[in-house]
Structure 1
Amino acid sequence: MNPTTQPAPLQGGKLVLATLAVALATFMNVLDSSIANVAIPTIAGNLGVSVDEGTWVITLFAAANAISIPLTGWLTQRVGQIKLFVWAILLFVVSSWLCGIAPNLPTLLAARILQGAVAGPLIPLSQAILLGSYPKEKSSTALALWAMTATVGPIAGPALGGWITDSYSWSWIFYINIPVGLFAAGVTWAIYRERETPVKRVPIDKIGLISLIAWVASLQIMLDKGKDLDWFDSPVIVALGVFALVSFVFFLIWELTEKNPVIDIKLFTGRNFLGGTVAISVAYAVFFSNLVLLPQWMQGYLGYRSVDAGLVTAPLGIFAVILAPVMGKLMPRSDARVLATLAFFGFAAVFFMRSHYTTGVDTYTLVVPTLLQGIPTALFFVPLTAIILSGLPPAKIPAAAGLSNFVRVFAGAVGTSLATTGWNDRTILHHAQLVEQASVHNPAFVGAIDSMQSALGGSPSQALAFFERSLTTQAAMLGLNDIFWLSAVIFIAIVPLIWLTKPGKGAGAGAAGAGGH
């Protein structure tokens, strides 16, 4: 292809097939970030590890994914857009197969790190390829189709993951990517190989990249292992924390002085980019971590099967899909800050509703907030991405989109680690407080044990064991209620960040669809 000419838009059946293939690659990636959520208790049980350790399957994927996102621009210039996209899909297929055959947790985590790393270019490249396939006047249609695919993933993921885990084996949540990926890669190569972008040798900021990997990896390992090693009472955690801090400071100094930085830190000097990126990242951390905790609680304490937990969390995407086209029409004539504020208040209301759950909660009460959460989800990504990118020159858009996505995805991994630790700590605290009431000198406790013994027809030790199980369930519920309540407070607290930005019209408005999920 002549580097100075843009290939003509695709037409007819070729356009339909190309859209399907590119969308499937996006779907596969997004699906994989949510499909494992409901399978974590099963994976942990089968591999003989705790559910907390099983959560690393999600957090390490997200951390590796975050690191590779900023490299997309450099890799595209070195390899070519189409070759990079096809290779990313094929490597995603291979890593999915490695996840499926993993015999133990370390092998599974290594495969998930590889899977997260090769998935980095899929989201930004799928958007770029689709935009290049449609006429300029149809670019909003291309982004709407992309957004629909990216939104269907969170709906299908939990339900599909639950059904596969219960009906077959957790390995199949990864094997399912193999036929989808091979089809997407084959069709994409067949249609797009003649439309390859120009390739040129550009330098890579090796020191910046190594220091980025160093601080992200050490911080993530510290957060994931902290609870098991008793946090800063452990010399290992202290060493990881110090190393993460030193690496991060070095990374900041290096990137600010490097001519071709791996991440353009100076973008944070823009008010809109700073306010928008911090707001979307904190919001996404709270949003995503709760999506991980909810199925774990339903399966661990309410007795839900994987598929049932998946079906309870699936309605999240219903309103998100229905409202996606509406958002396309609303955005040009609305202040993005107002829409984002409404989203945050909506999220706060949903989490406040959940903070009143009890151990006797029924399925209807679980589903309603999840269904309603789809409304703020639809108002969440696009306006904040428009704010982040507004006012930036077109040349800065790819770097800004890559950096904001890196921060957001990594915040999701950190948020999940912190929420898991917070839930555990609050559960232990509530358990201790409840046990204080369980004394032979407390007539209410003695009466409760006698009643249980009569009802169960067993010994006092059986009644006490039943009481302990009830106590643990109650403590976990109270601990999770604390997380829900804090989540509501955080969403209200970060609203001012949105209003620190200024309404702007610029290149970013057209890139609103780059928000991703």
Structure 2
Amino acid sequence: MNTTRLILLTTTVIAAAVMELIDISIVNVALSQMSGNLGATLEDTSWVITSYAIANVIVIPLTGFLAALIGRRNYFIGSIALFTLASLMCGLSTNIWMLVAFRFIQGIGGGALLSTSQVIVFESFPVNKRSVASAIFGIGVFTGPTIGPTLGGYILEITDWNWIFLVNVPIGLIVLLGSFLLVEEPKQRQAIKKVDYLGLLLLILGIGALQIVLERGEQEDWFDTNYIIYLTGVAIMGIIGFVWWELRISQPIVNLRVLRSPTLAVASILTFVTGVGLFTSVFLTPVFAQRLLGFPALDTGLLLLPGALIAIVALIMTARLLQAGVPIPFIIVMGFLLFMTFSWKMGHLGPDVGKGDFYIPLIFRGVGLALLTVPLTALAVSGLSATEIPQGAAFNNMMRQLGGSFGISGVNTYLANRIAQHRTDLVTNLTSNDAETTQWLTSVGHRFVAKGATELDAVRQSYQLLDQSVTRQASVLSYLDAYLAVGLLFALAMPLILLVLNKAPAKNIVVSLSDH
């Protein structure tokens, strides 16, 4: 393949993956506007996020099977067309449930783009350049979720929420045309003799129910809500049944036997943890900056920019390190340590936090995740045969998405518990016998009286202001705790790298990928 064609193909397929990843987080900033314009409650509007995530996490592990069934080229092009059409219909939706339905269809189309794009990029590069291919693809994987909220906020500043979806249409059409002209069917194609319908049903039930529980559990008070209890049971039975059935038949819809590879098993767990870090940090930081510190939307988005730009450089450097023979476990350890440094610094921010206090920690975050993206992808497929690589890549990508879902769900629950605990701790120190509290209330009350309030109103307003101050301080402390908790998860997972210490030197990656 000549250089020009390679550049065009790589740009096209990575653009498809980036579109999919951006749409995971781009709608987060638009929920309030959607709710108002469509006459829906904020709770109903949040299904716009949930439906996409459910479809995504169901389709991702099926990409290898579906590509083999109808041909990878047809599957990839069809998925782009479906994603683009669904984006158009999302933008034209006139009620909330129409939007949720087309958002689910958009997730079905988008679920194929990540793993399929990854395999196409790997295949297209010469054997000795595939670590560079991993880095280039990693740029999309890393930057997509990071820039989603920023892009969404910018779109909302200049136009309506519909354009969060409509902006995909021209880009999707360009990507569709490029894919039609450039993407080729692989020479080796696995034949599908029999469709595993039971496995498909169990996967949809198990993973779909699990995703709903994770997305909705915290909002519904978890097991105080009947449908969450029922869906938890469906998820457990569906997943157990799926694993049992897939290991029993000769042609499973998802080949779980690839997990016999120790490198894929360990990489999947570490990728899950990385997904927790990637998505929770993208979730926590904008909310912390905007809602608690009062940063404008544009300034909040710009907080992530320096770290993202430096991370792109770090991704290219990571590829060079792999090519130079630096062991994958060493690079992964460095990535984990840098992300843990980010968590530690964010967890110890002072009371007077400014924009400048975010930049250095977020640079640690960006470089740390950059050092993890390429090596973990390479580690996941390093022990697989040519026919197993699509399944292994899809499973690894699914673990990243599930890590994000588990992470955000867990962080939301953790925040609610910590806010209640910190509030209790703070309130116990605010008594009528405390001189500082009494002096503060008196001083604030006098200011309200000076502005025309009655004595009674001044007392009431002073206590309201004190309550707001306590709630805000409890929330700030809880967010700092959440950063530390995610860092602790990274620390607990890091020893797993010892299991593959001598199994995946960087020089073997080229060999394993050259079989595909």
Instruction: Give your verdict on TM over 0.5.
Output: yes
Cα shift at 1:89: 1.0
8 Å CA contact 1:21–1:188 kept in 2: the answer is: yes
8 Å CA contact 1:387–1:501 kept in 2: the answer is: no
Of 347, 350, 356 in structure 2, the residue corresponding to residue 364 of structure 1 is 356
SS of equivalent residue, structure 2 residue 353: coil
Query: What do residues 280-318 of structure 1 show as CA deviations (whole Å, max 9, x unaligned)?
Result: 212312331221122123222222332222111233312
Cα shift at 1:354: 0.7
8 Å CA contact 2:54–2:212 kept in 1: the answer is: no
Question: If the length of structure 1 is used for normalisation, what is the TM-score?
Answer: 0.88
Amino acid at match of 1:115: Q
Distance 1:488 1:497, change over 3 A: same
| Identity of matched residues, % | 30
1:239 is aligned to 230
> C-alpha separation between the residues in 2 aligned to 1:505 and 1:228?
42
SS of equivalent residue, structure 1 residue 494: helix
Of 276, 279, 289 in structure 2, the residue corresponding to residue 288 of structure 1 is 279
Of stretches 140-149 and 412-421 in structure 1, the one that deviates more from structure 2 is 140-149
1:484 is aligned to 483
Distance 1:82 1:321, change over 3 A: same
8 Å CA contact 1:60–1:109 kept in 2: the answer is: yes
SS of equivalent residue, structure 2 residue 428: helix
Q: Work out whether 1:36 is the aligned partner of 2:35.
A: no
> C-alpha separation between the residues in 2 aligned to 1:427 and 1:52?
21
1:213 is aligned to 204
> C-alpha separation between the residues in 2 aligned to 1:279 and 1:198?
30
Q: Work out whether 1:386 is the aligned partner of 2:378.
A: yes
Cα shift at 1:484: 0.9
8 Å CA contact 2:20–2:113 kept in 1: the answer is: yes
1:99 is aligned to 90
Of 401, 405, 412 in structure 2, the residue corresponding to residue 413 of structure 1 is 405
Question: If the length of structure 2 is used for normalisation, what is the TM-score?
Answer: 0.88
Amino acid at match of 1:184: V
Cα shift at 1:130: 3.6
1:203 is aligned to 194
1:353 is aligned to 345
How do 1:331-350 and structure 2 match up within 5 A? 331-332=322-323, 333-350=325-342
1:113 is aligned to 104
How do 1:257-336 and structure 2 match up within 5 A? 257-332=248-323, 333-336=325-328
Of stretches 287-296 and 426-435 in structure 1, the one that deviates more from structure 2 is 426-435
Amino acid at match of 2:27: A
Cα shift at 1:121: 1.6
8 Å CA contact 1:34–1:154 kept in 2: the answer is: yes
> C-alpha separation between the residues in 2 aligned to 1:54 and 1:511?
48
1:3 is aligned to none
Cα shift at 1:20: 3.1
1:510 is aligned to 510
Cα shift at 1:194: 8.8
1:4 is aligned to none
Of stretches 334-343 and 436-445 in structure 1, the one that deviates more from structure 2 is 436-445
> C-alpha separation between the residues in 1 aligned to 2:38 and 2:416?
21
What's the RMSD between the two structures over aligned residues? Answer: 3.0
1:167 is aligned to 158
Amino acid at match of 1:335: P
Amino acid at match of 2:80: I
8 Å CA contact 1:63–1:409 kept in 2: the answer is: no
Of stretches 122-131 and 350-359 in structure 1, the one that deviates more from structure 2 is 122-131
Amino acid at match of 2:395: L
8 Å CA contact 1:166–1:305 kept in 2: the answer is: no
Distance 1:227 1:358, change over 3 A: same
1:400 is aligned to 392
Task: Return 5+ residue gaps in structure 2 as ranges.
Answer: none
Amino acid at match of 1:416: I
Distance 1:280 1:23, change over 3 A: closer
8 Å CA contact 1:77–1:198 kept in 2: the answer is: yes
Of 349, 369, 372 in structure 2, the residue corresponding to residue 377 of structure 1 is 369
> C-alpha separation between the residues in 2 aligned to 1:258 and 1:397?
20
8 Å CA contact 2:311–2:366 kept in 1: the answer is: yes
Amino acid at match of 1:509: I
Q: Work out whether 1:85 is the aligned partner of 2:91.
A: no
Query: What do residues 347-406 of structure 1 show as CA deviations (whole Å, max 9, x unaligned)?
Result: 111011111235531111122211221111111122222322223223322221111222
1:187 is aligned to 178
Cα shift at 1:54: 6.0
8 Å CA contact 2:71–2:185 kept in 1: the answer is: no
How many pairs align?
505
Cα shift at 1:447: 1.8
SS of equivalent residue, structure 2 residue 389: helix
Task: Return 5+ residue gaps in structure 1 as ranges.
Answer: 1-8
8 Å CA contact 1:82–1:196 kept in 2: the answer is: no
> C-alpha separation between the residues in 2 aligned to 1:434 and 1:51?
30
Of stretches 390-399 and 408-417 in structure 1, the one that deviates more from structure 2 is 390-399
